[in-house]
Amino acid sequence: MTVEEWIEKYKPVNNHLDDNASWQDEDGNGAMFETYEKELLHVQEVRATDPNKVWTYCDSDFTSGTVVVAGYRLVNRIGYFITEEPWQTGEEFVEVSND
């Protein structure tokens, strides 16, 4: 799935904790949550109640690029996303870059 298809289907929410969050849309609203402090705590809170709405942005194990994968991961993580729509199987992923 492409990044555009993922955004359209799952609808990442804006990071309300950081006015300068990464993955900004055309209006300057960022959707990525960091891997530490209050942003990580928020992701963990969402994970506790809606685990299928948490995604991890990470270095890929399969390519030399980056991917967004369904679920909460620790290894190779860059950041997290929370979406309005839940993932279904846990196999969903988005290839972001392939360096």
Instruction: Quick: pLDDT tens for 62-89.
Output: 666 899 999 999 989 999 999 999 999 9
pLDDT of residue 63: 67
Q: Cα angle vertex 53, ends 49, 58, to 5°?
A: 120
Q: What is the pTM of this model?
A: 0.92
Question: Residue 99: pLDDT above 60?
Answer: no
Beta-bridge mates of residue 77: 58
pLDDT of residue 98: 65
**Residue 14 corresponds to which tokens in the numbers above?**
């804006």
Question: Is the model more confident about 19 or about 98?
Answer: 19
pLDDT of residue 60: 81
Number of domains in the chain: 1
Q: List strand residue ranges (DSSP E) for the chain, in order.
A: 54-59, 66-70, 77-82, 93-97
Q: Residue 47 is part of which domain span? A: 3-97
Q: Categorize the per-residue pLDDT at 97 as very low, low, confident or very high, splitting at 50, 70 and 90.
A: confident
**Of 52, 98, 55, 99, nearest in space to 78 by CA:** 55
